[in-house]
Structure 1
């Protein structure tokens, strides 16, 4: 094809994508609610700013689409917010429309941001918020990577893909996610009741001992990875506290602490700007301070730490691999979460995940 022919063909090649960008978009969210947009959204409000990290799996500049968001990312996870801001300086200019929980929502600031759509986490959709915004002409879609990630992640990413007009990227991510998820499921076929008891020590070192997921949050991921979450036996809600005595009595086969910045409260450092050695040192220190070093699992070296942020991102496929490897080394010991994380960074993430996001107890620590 000569240069003139190629130039004349360019509008025809671009036409399908341009048409798709202007066509109405039908979206069914994780609650089964249907929303139709006249075209993919150009102005998005996030009730949880952390969901910009999920958007970054599909869009090269997710911040460019955000006109308002919650304060959760900069308040609870300053290192990741710093990474977002370094790559996309516009982040600092985005108005805060929600501070803390649902009752901290400013309708005035939300309306001032003139969104095409509001993308809301399930925890914010209370007291008829979606209906009130719809009455004002602002559609709302619900996504969820926290309350039931094994059920809602694929639909949530489909929602984000449609909202942003990035359905091709959403399909590519879905294929990546499903392939890795199904590998774990295939390895664990037939385990039946052979599920080791697992204690997930949430926010280890950043709060008093011992916070843990109950029948929500990490629980579905623990079960999928072939473990039995003792927190689900002891806590009625999604999260709660268990006593040191209860943990010792339960005698879990595996201990997993979650780590991260925790809004400056301390704890096991993991993620951006952290070294593996620092994470391992603090894991040992937390176990000693919490008196959990008496657990047989810890003495046997079956103690680990993992980034708490995996509880609200589709990148949790990395955590699933790590958990399965720790719970069932005979079946899943060759799974490689490091390679999976590298694949997410190379193929998808506009906001890369740097630094260690999990660590094992150093040999001979106890």
Structure 2
């Protein structure tokens, strides 16, 4: 073989090796996951421009991505409205969040703008179960995005948190190229849930009432099946409203609540209730502000008649625990309220500090409250 031919063979071989290398890299970067609806979702590479249809799910992204705002092509406006304390923390840490385009309110399929989302040219759209809908026809959002050539993943932390949280985090971790971070948080999450489960095993379950958005609206909004009901069950309690309501949430009358006379009363609150005189809890909330709002709530006519209030078994919990993996801390806090003797050596405040090590934003503030504010800061 002459020198010219040998040179040609070498060049061809190098090109082949280069193409093989590129193919290997492409294969290594491609991602396939199963979302919470059991759908297979594939991407040629981890997503860098996502539309987060439900804005509150930024709270979950913040546990597996150090700068979740940097990957937002667009998002739902619901977080700024429903969780202003969380939004303020993200705005302080990531000021560019104010420039992220919105794609509707993030609460319902009707309030979501498919056209605006498509115009942003994302490489992935993330939907919650409620936005994905029941998948009954060709007009649902999942099908419309797929028809437009845009991949869609459905994850959820709200409707069935104890079954959906881990697969949702794992799917997001792979889709965003953050599997290691996701697995580290999952290990923390599962460790604390296992500890609670082992402590409540065999315990007598007290009857619990969750008063949602307490003091800000007519009594009494409450979770039925799902959401906070899962937290109560995991914490070793029995949700009295699960038998009274047909769906995930609803309203019972004050008379029904008084007649049920639960063993434990837990009010949920947030900064969104401050203007209505309701229970104020959340990130950045001063403990005295929270304590004063809780004291007002306990004097509401009717509520004050409950045995739980009269005997000091009334507590307050941040409402926005209900749509974030941080609910693992809420479950631990509820379990200690329901079974103080079994959780005497467990400190939910320390668990919150541990969770904060994963978080893109500070988790300071008052996220729960007790009678006479006996809770640990």
> What's the TM-score, normalizing by structure 1?
0.90
Q: Which runs of 5+ in 1 are unaligned?
A: 1-14
- More deviation, 176-185/327-336: 327-336
Q: Which runs of 5+ in 2 are unaligned?
A: 1-20, 134-138
1:128 equivalent to 2:108? Answer: no
What are the Cα deviations for residues 246-269 of structure 1, in whole angstroms up to 9, with x where unaligned?
A: 111111010100010237544211
Alignment of 1:50-129 (within 5 A): 50-99=56-105, 100-126=107-133, 127-129=139-141
What are the Cα deviations for residues 33-86 of structure 1, in whole angstroms up to 9, with x where unaligned?
A: 110100100001111111112111111111000111101011112221111111
The answer for the alignment partner of 1:198 in structure 2 is 208
| Aligned-residue offset at 1:289 | 2.0
1:226 equivalent to 2:236? Answer: yes
> What's the TM-score, normalizing by structure 2?
0.88
| Aligned-residue offset at 1:279 | 1.2
| Aligned-residue offset at 1:363 | 7.2
Alignment of 1:142-291 (within 5 A): 142-191=154-203, 194-262=204-272, 264-291=275-302
1:293 equivalent to 2:304? Answer: yes
In 2: Cα distance, 1:243 partner to 1:23 partner: 54
What are the Cα deviations for residues 141-168 of structure 1, in whole angstroms up to 9, with x where unaligned?
A: 1111110001111001101101110000
The answer for the alignment partner of 2:366 in structure 1 is 356
Q: Report the secondary structure of 1:331's partner residue.
A: coil
| Aligned-residue offset at 1:270 | 1.1
| Matched length | 345
Runs of 4+ in 1 over 6 A off after TM superposition: none
Q: Report the secondary structure of 1:255's partner residue.
A: strand
8 A contact 2:329–2:351 mirrored in 1: yes
For the structure 1 residues 20 and 169, does the alpha-carbon distance in structure 2 shift closer, same or farther, using more than 3 Å as the test?
farther
Q: Report the secondary structure of 1:350's partner residue.
A: coil
| Aligned-residue offset at 1:186 | 0.6
In 1: Cα distance, 2:227 partner to 2:327 partner: 12
- More deviation, 178-187/81-90: 81-90
In 2: Cα distance, 1:20 partner to 1:298 partner: 61
Q: Report the secondary structure of 1:50's partner residue.
A: helix
8 A contact 2:291–2:373 mirrored in 1: no
| Aligned-residue offset at 1:20 | 8.8
For the structure 1 residues 290 and 148, does the alpha-carbon distance in structure 2 shift closer, same or farther, using more than 3 Å as the test?
farther
| Aligned-residue offset at 1:334 | 2.5
In 1: Cα distance, 2:194 partner to 2:208 partner: 22
Q: Report the secondary structure of 2:360's partner residue.
A: coil
In 2: Cα distance, 1:318 partner to 1:21 partner: 38
Larger Rg: 2
8 A contact 1:214–1:231 mirrored in 2: yes
8 A contact 1:21–1:165 mirrored in 2: no
Q: Report the secondary structure of 2:42's partner residue.
A: strand
Alignment of 1:288-327 (within 5 A): 288-327=299-338
Task: Give RMSD over aligned pairs.
Answer: 1.8
The answer for the alignment partner of 1:26 in structure 2 is 32
In 2: Cα distance, 1:209 partner to 1:21 partner: 56
In 2: Cα distance, 1:164 partner to 1:21 partner: 16
| Aligned-residue offset at 1:228 | 0.5
| Aligned-residue offset at 1:280 | 1.9
